[in-house]
Amino acid sequence: MSSTVTLGDLALTLGVSKTLISLVLNNKGTTYGISQATQKKVFKLAKKLNYQPNLVARGLREGKTNTVGLVVSDIANPFYSKMARHIEDFLSAKDYHLVICSTDEEPEREHKIIKLMREKQFDGIIVSTSQRKTGDFKQLMREKYPFVLIDRKIKSIKTNFIGINNFQATYQAVKYLIGEGYSQIAAMAVSPVYVSSIKERIKGYRHAMADSGFDLTQQRLVEIPFDKVKTAVKTEIQKLIQSPHPVNALFAINNNIAVACLEAFRELQIALPKDIAFIAFDDIDAFRLTTPTVTAIDQPLEEICQHAVDILLNEIARPRRAKKEIILSPSLIIRQSVKKL
């Protein structure tokens, strides 16, 4: 591809061995008894010819790429891009690189990405999985390949996992709505609903409702397909509003749905919190900028990422460690989108 100078080139022009060059440039010259004079010559030539080591070759030799993969559904989602940024920072402090891939919630795509990362010899991966099948992860465990799940766990196998208590957070949020006097409360979920975080949030909604005496017929759970959030949200909101028992509170199960809801409210001229109370899961910048501001559940992103990176790098350093599961608590940030009835 490009005019590249290798160890061999340096060795040749200097009339010494590749070994010597390698030793010197890796600062092992003195320990290996290379004379100062020779070392100087090597450094000088390397600089002059702008020698740049081929890290692919080194990676092959060392069986290490200093690269970690991050698999998420969509890096353009601020929830994930913020995480990515934290992870990148923690990794780069330890001289690791981050590769990010988006799956669009497609299990098959995720499978391919994980395979590719594996084949590219990434030292480990961090995954917010969209798969319900556990095959990939079982395989990785069999191979003792380091990985950490974040945000979404898979029951049935014990893996490293860092996430939050989705059930409790949702339960608390819905209870808050009820406490403020709301009774017609709908939740809007996003497919695939089989991912653990969504499932737990749905469960949190159902239990909070049931515990307050609202049976299944009084619960309204709407499911929005991931690939047509915007249009589906709008029509569903219309339905909820125009139903015989119009909804007066809405819980949005993630930031994606929430943004679509806010847009729909505006288009349909539904005023918050007068016409409808609103709570979102995941806190984003926009929620502090709207009028009214949006009450939301905020995840401790940085902490999640810190743990994920720590555990992953630890496992990379010495495999065969016990799997760790860390469940953190998000906080309900009360703003203005819910008023007392």
Residue 260 interacts with DNA (CB under 7 A)?
A: no
Out of 2, 3, 27, 33, point to the residue binding DNA (CB under 7 A). 33
Stretch that binds DNA, among 45-53, 184-192, 209-217, 263-271 (CB under 7 A): 45-53
Strands 124-127 and 161-164: unpaired
Residue 60 interacts with DNA (CB under 7 A)?
A: yes
Tokens of 336: 């203005």
Provide the minimum distance between the beta carbon of 224 and a copy of itself in the complex, in angstroms, as a whole number. Answer: 17
Residue 63 interacts with DNA (CB under 7 A)?
A: yes
Q: Are 84 and 75 in contact (CB under 8 A)?
A: yes
Residue 118 interacts with DNA (CB under 7 A)?
A: no
CA-CA distance, 253 to 195, in Å (whole number)?
Answer: 12
Choose among 253, 241, 269, 236: nearest CA to 184. Answer: 241
Question: For 151-245, where are the E strands, in sequence order?
Answer: 161-164, 185-190, 220-224
- Compose the 247-286 pattern: x for residues touching a copy of itself by CB under 8 A, - for all others: ------------x--xx--x------------------xx
CA-CA distance, 330 to 332, in Å (whole number)?
Answer: 7
Q: Are 106 and 283 in contact (CB under 8 A)?
A: no
Choose among 219, 263, 227, 260: nearest CA to 243. Answer: 219
Provide the minimum distance between the beta carbon of 140 and a copy of itself in the complex, in angstroms, as a whole number. Answer: 8
CA-CA distance, 156 to 141, in Å (whole number)?
Answer: 13
Residue 62 interacts with DNA (CB under 7 A)?
A: yes
Stretch that binds a copy of itself, among 36-44, 67-75, 184-192, 324-332 (CB under 8 A): 67-75
State the DSSP code for 11. H
Question: Using N-to-C axis directions, what is the helix angle for 78-92 and 301-317, rounded to 10°?
Answer: 40
- Select from DNA, a copy of itself, none the partner in contact with residue 34, using the beta carbon and a kind-dependent cut-off of 5 to 8 Å: DNA
Residue 20 interacts with DNA (CB under 7 A)?
A: yes
Write out the binding residues for a copy of itself, residues 93-152 only, by CB under 8 A: 97-102, 115-116, 118-121, 123, 139, 142-146
Provide the minimum distance between the beta carbon of 182 and a copy of itself in the complex, in angstroms, as a whole number. Answer: 22
CA-CA distance, 102 to 269, in Å (whole number)?
Answer: 34
CA-CA distance, 271 to 262, in Å (whole number)?
Answer: 10
Instruction: Give SS3 for 6.
Output: coil
- Select from DNA, a copy of itself, none the partner in contact with residue 98, using the beta carbon and a kind-dependent cut-off of 5 to 8 Å: a copy of itself
Which chain residues interact with DNA by CB under 7 A?
4, 6-8, 15-20, 22-23, 25-26, 32-35, 37-38, 51-54, 57-58, 60-63
List contacts with a copy of itself (CB under 8 A): 1-4, 50, 52-57, 59-60, 63-65, 67, 74-76, 78, 81-82, 84-85, 88-89, 92, 97-102, 115-116, 118-121, 123, 139, 142-146, 259, 262-263, 266, 285-286, 288-291, 316, 319
